[in-house]
């Protein structure tokens, strides 16, 4: 197990420390609202999105795992009868009865609001669209599966402990599994296709289910291969190569799926008797344990299924970025670690050495057998900052004819360097990094680059530079070379960061997920293999390890598997300035307890419970006291040196977190374990208590997340670790509504929008004229010259800067009195960004709320003056405390029908 330095954070660390700040603070200074007629230049009209009826979950009271099927059926029949009597208009899509008590429906906002008020309705939730995780094949990177297995001890479990997962059923809820791939021959024992090939194609979501879960998307086959693919002819083996599979297909060949389809697959997997279920999917930022999929996943654990789910790939979008089923209390939530080795295409040098490279996109691939002398620009050195750039004089005409030229990264684009070399007659370009590691360049441009361009590491670039004076040559011989991954064995930058909206500690563990070689559908890749990255690849690694442990210890309870894996994990170090900082643990909220270690989990006889400590906010109770129980189920006396291993604190802002070395302090059983280890003896078949007291970091910025580990270094057996996390300050002081950035300018938000006038009004702006709305369709010529027919109706664009417990949308009269409650939504996720320029199909900057001119009783609001108001109850907030609810009120407007 990687061992943390007991005083590592007292060292002088070369960290870029962030200033304290609010969540969601824009990257540019906000424009002050001024009096006037409003702003223009919204990039698109949003009316189509607003007027489309949505899909919703309706949850009825009563846990289906505690009710009989007859009781659940009776409740649902009663709801349908009551809804019919009330004249409610909705379309029922599907009903659920084993993991969720309720339905998915299609209805507009007004009908949903009425449904939410019906007796017996526990909650109403939006059905999220879930994107099929990206499956870009990296042909250049081909790390073998054994590299990843060696990182977690799965290779030892197979070869020395004899564990293969035989007899264990693992369900994969994904894009299906390639039923013709030899890796799964005869081992898919259950399955169902819930959607069909064309589901999601061209934006159409019409399910055509059948019993053949064959994969045409690719993602599910890759995931299943990691769990337990097995091809004796090629030597490929997943983590648990003898498991049986359940394949549950919830994606078409491309596109996305919906939460209600996933929930149906979860109920089917549980019904089919799966012992482990992997879900490499989720809705980023939707990080509440009360959401339908998280709640259903918890209920699967209650029914005896080990649930494993990816933590998410939104780490680049800041903290509180996890979401989906991974947020369930008893679900094993998995972060990603980069693979330790990568296998690259290579060329050979005339001194006999081999150099690994990436082939640049936008240029032709090197021809096998091509041999060229290597040169560089006169005067270029490994410290030149503008090598090959036009500003440095580029290359003299014809100076590179018939040669490969070595060019250092820096100052100008890869394309500019390559095209300048081509103009000087170069036959190939070798780019090398100006920082540690490899680069994957693009040289597309006009005119096109027509010569091969490859990139090598900084180390290899310096090596070639030193050989040029001796007359070195290179040959593209079609070879491969395995090289150390510079970021290997550290947490992947894309891995999502916790904690949950309710400050519960997440993720739980980490596993290899960056650059993973596994199976791929034969219909998409002739070789049957591909390299993908994501927490999608880390999660099935843990599912495979769970299968190995279930084979070894069939009596492990599903609810205890997470404890076994967390206790035995090993810490990953923070990656900074091109290298891991040895002994300095990465954020606990990014790695959980650390990398899973199946050998340690197999041999441990002592369990520490709880397996993690969620310390909450420090505003009311600064110092937190917890009890951890060590239970020895073995016949051997265990002795530990117990001390505190603080992880880096997350400072900065929600969207731009930064590391801080201001850490918490800890005592255990009254001893200061920051200064010296405490000896703890656990006799055979007995229990010992650790009384743990954690004090938040005094020097850390307000609104930081701190964390670390109780580290138990064994003198007699395997080490143990218990992570903790907490929030410094008043959690309810985080803003619910953030500013929005449009065209590089930040404006106070929410915004009241008037599409018919091609205008929006920012928060706090005083208007010189009162907007009016007719609720009629009008044709508008927008500021960008486009034309469209829109309904002349008001809507709000809201940036959700943080998760919201309950958001109430109200209609007020001109005097500020409440006319009606238009909607009330629970457990909202935050937005991915606050910048319109950064939004994508999977990264939203805003949350729209529209009003159709009707009251909740279905009648039209009379003409008059109104306002729209939003009230956001914050996570863990107290409704009776005004400081825990954030309020926005729009400008006044007139309804003129």
- Determine how β-strand 657-660 pairs with β-strand 649-652: antiparallel
Paired tokens of 294: 């998280």
Buried/exposed code over 844-882 (b: 16+ C-beta within 10 A; e: otherwise): bbbbebbbbbbbbeeeebeeeebbbbbbbbbbebeeeee
Phi, psi dihedrals of residue 602, rounded to the nearest 5°: -65, -35
CB 238, CB 227: distance < 8 Å: yes
Q: Which of 283, 346, 455, 536 is catalytic?
A: 536
HEC per residue, 725-785: EEECCCHHHCCCEECEEECCEEECCCEEEEHHHCEEEECCCCECCCCEECCCEEEEECCCC
**Is 219 among the catalytic positions?**
yes
HEC per residue, 370-383: CEEEEEECCCCCCC
CB-CB neighbours of 373 under 10 Å: 14
Q: Which of 174, 508, 586, 758 is catalytic?
A: 174
In this structure, the chain runs to a length of: 897
Q: Which of 219, 222, 644, 884 is catalytic?
A: 219
Residue with tokens 């059948």: 210
- Determine how β-strand 404-408 pairs with β-strand 371-376: parallel
Buried/exposed code over 299-319 (b: 16+ C-beta within 10 A; e: otherwise): bbbeeebbbbbbbbbbbebbb
Give one DSSP letter per residue of 145-175, joined into a string: HHHHHHHHTHHHHHHTS----TT-EEEEEES
d(Cα 822, Cα 732) in Å, to the nearest integer? 25
CB 1, CB 720: distance < 8 Å: no
Distance of CA 96 to the CA centre of its chain: 27
Cα dihedral 239, 241, 247, 248 in deg (nearest 10)? -10
- Is the alpha carbon torsion for 874, 879, 881, 882 positive or negative? positive
d(Cα 281, Cα 270) in Å, to the nearest integer? 18
d(Cα 378, Cα 412) in Å, to the nearest integer? 18
**Is 174 among the catalytic positions?**
yes
- Determine how β-strand 453-456 pairs with β-strand 428-432: parallel
d(Cα 22, Cα 749) in Å, to the nearest integer? 15
Q: How far is CA 781 from CA 42, 332, 362, 478, 792, in A?
A: 13, 52, 39, 58, 13
3-state secondary structure of 293: helix
CB-CB neighbours of 838 under 10 Å: 14
> In this structure, what DSSP letter does residue 65 have?
G
d(Cα 496, Cα 323) in Å, to the nearest integer? 9
Paired tokens of 786: 């486009």
3-state secondary structure of 876: coil
Cα dihedral 109, 111, 112, 115 in deg (nearest 10)? 160
HEC per residue, 296-351: HHHHHHHCCCEEEEECCCCHHHCCCCCCCHHHCCCCEEEEEEECCEEEEEEEEECC
**Is 222 among the catalytic positions?**
no
d(Cα 347, Cα 131) in Å, to the nearest integer? 38
Buried/exposed code over 444-453 (b: 16+ C-beta within 10 A; e: otherwise): eeeeebebbb
Question: Which of 367, 344, 365 is CA-nearest to residue 356?
Answer: 344
d(Cα 441, Cα 429) in Å, to the nearest integer? 12
User: Which positions are annotated as active-site residues?
Assistant: 174, 219, 536
């Amino acid at each position: 197990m990687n061992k943390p330095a007991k005083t590592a954070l007292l060292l002088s660390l070369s960290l870029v420390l962030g200033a304290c700040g609010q969540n969601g603070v824009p990257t540019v200074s906000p424009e002050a609202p001024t009096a006037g007629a409003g702003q223009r230049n919204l990039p698109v009209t949003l009316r189509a999105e607003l007027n489309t009826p949505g899909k919703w979950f309706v949850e009825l009271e009563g846990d289906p795992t505690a009710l009989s099927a007859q009781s659940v059926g009776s409740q649902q029949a009663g709801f349908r009868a009551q809804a019919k009597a009330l004249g409610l208009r909705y379309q029922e899509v599907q009903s659920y009865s084993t993991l969720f008590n309720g339905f998915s429906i299609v209805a507009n906002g007004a009908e949903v609001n009425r449904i939410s008020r019906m007796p017996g309705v526990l909650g109403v939730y939006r059905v999220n669209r879930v994107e099929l995780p990206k499956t870009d094949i990296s042909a250049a990177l081909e790390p073998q599966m054994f590299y990843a297995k060696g990182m977690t001890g799965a290779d030892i479990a197979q070869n020395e402990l004899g564990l293969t997962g035989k007899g264990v059923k693992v369900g994969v809820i994904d894009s299906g599994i390639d039923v013709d791939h030899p890796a799964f021959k005869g081992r898919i024992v259950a399955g169902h296709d819930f959607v069909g090939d064309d589901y999601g194609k061209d934006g159409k979501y019409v399910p055509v289910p059948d019993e053949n879960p064959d994969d045409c998307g690719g993602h599910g086959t890759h995931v299943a291969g990691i769990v337990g693919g097995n091809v004796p002819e090629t030597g490929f083996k997943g983590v648990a190569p003898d498991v049986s599979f359940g394949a549950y297909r919830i994606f078409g060949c491309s596109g996305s799926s919906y939460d209600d389809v996933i929930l149906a697959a979860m109920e089917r997997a549980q019904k089919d008797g799966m012992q482990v279920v992997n879900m490499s999917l989720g809705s980023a930022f939707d990080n509440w344990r009360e959401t339908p999929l998280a709640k259903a996943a918890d209920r699967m654990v209650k029914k005896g299924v080990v649930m494993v789910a990816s933590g998410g790939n939104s780490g680049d979008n800041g903290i509180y970025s996890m979401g989906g089923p991974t947020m369930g209390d008893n679900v094993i939530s998995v972060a990603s670690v980069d693979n330790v080795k990568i296998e690259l295409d290579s060329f050979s040098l005339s001194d006999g050495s081999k150099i690994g490279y990436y082939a640049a996109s936008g240029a032709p691939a090197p021809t096998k057998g091509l041999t060229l002398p290597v040169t560089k620009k006169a005067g270029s050195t490994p410290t030149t900052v503008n090598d090959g750039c036009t500003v440095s004089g580029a290359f003299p005409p014809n100076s590179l004819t018939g040669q490969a030229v070595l060019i250092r990264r820096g100052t100008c684009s890869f394309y500019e360097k390559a095209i300048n070399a081509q103009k000087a007659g170069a036959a190939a370009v070798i780019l090398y990094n100006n920082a540690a590691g490899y680069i994957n360049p693009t040289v597309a441009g006009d005119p096109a680059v027509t010569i091969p361009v490859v990139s090598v590491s900084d180390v290899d670039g310096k090596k070639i530079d030193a050989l040029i004076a001796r007359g070195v040559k290179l040959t593209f011989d079609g070879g491969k070379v395995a090289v150390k991954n510079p970021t290997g064995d550290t947490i992947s930058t894309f891995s999502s960061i916790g904690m949950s909206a309710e400050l519960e500690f997440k993720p739980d563990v980490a596993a290899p997920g960056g650059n993973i070689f596994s199976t791929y559908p034969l219909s998409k890749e002739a070789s049957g293999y591909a390299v993908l990255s994501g927490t999608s690849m880390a999660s099935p690694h843990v599912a495979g390890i769970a299968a190995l442990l279930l084979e070894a210890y069939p009596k492990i309870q599903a609810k205890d598997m997470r404890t076994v894996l967390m206790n035995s994990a090993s810490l990953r170090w923070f990656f900074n300035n091109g290298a891991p900082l040895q002994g300095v643990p990465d954020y606990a909220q990014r790695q959980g307890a650390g990398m899973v270690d199946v050998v340690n989990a197999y041999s441990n006889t002592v369990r520490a419970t709880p397996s993690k400590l969620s310390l909450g906010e420090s505003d009311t109770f600064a110092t937190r006291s917890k009890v951890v129980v060590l239970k020895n189920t073995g016949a051997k006396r265990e002795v530990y040196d117990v001390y505190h291993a603080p992880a880096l604190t997350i400072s900065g802002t929600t969207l731009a977190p930064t590391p801080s070395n201001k850490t918490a302090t800890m005592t255990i059983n009254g001893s200061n374990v920051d200064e010296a280890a405490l000896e703890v003896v656990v006799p055979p078949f007995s229990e010992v208590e650790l009384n743990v007291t954690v004090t938040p970091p005094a020097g850390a910025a307000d609104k930081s997340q701190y964390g670390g580990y109780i580290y138990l270094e064994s003198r007699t057996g395997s080490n143990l670790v218990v992570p903790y996390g907490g929030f410094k300050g008043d959690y309810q002081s985080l803003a619910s509504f953030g500013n929005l950035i449009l065209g590089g300018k930040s404006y106070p938000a929410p915004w009241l929008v008037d599409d018919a006038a091609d205008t929006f009004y920012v928060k706090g702006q005083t208007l010189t004229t009162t907007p009016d709305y007719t609720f009629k369709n009008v044709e508008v010529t927008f500021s960008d010259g486009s034309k469209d027919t829109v309904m002349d109706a008001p809507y709000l664009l809201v940036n959700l800067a943080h998760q919201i417990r309950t958001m109430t949308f109200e209609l007020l009269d001109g005097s500020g009195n409440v006319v009606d409650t238009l909607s009330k939504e629970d457990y909202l996720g935050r937005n991915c960004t606050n910048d319109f320029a950064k939004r994508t199909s999977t990264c939203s900057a805003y949350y729209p709320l529209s009003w159709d001119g009707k009251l909740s009783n279905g009648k039209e609001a009379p003409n008059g003056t109104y306002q729209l108001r939003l009230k956001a109850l914050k996570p863990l907030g107290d409704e009776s405390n005004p400081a825990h609810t954030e309020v926005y009120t729009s400008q006044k407007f007139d309804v003129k029908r």
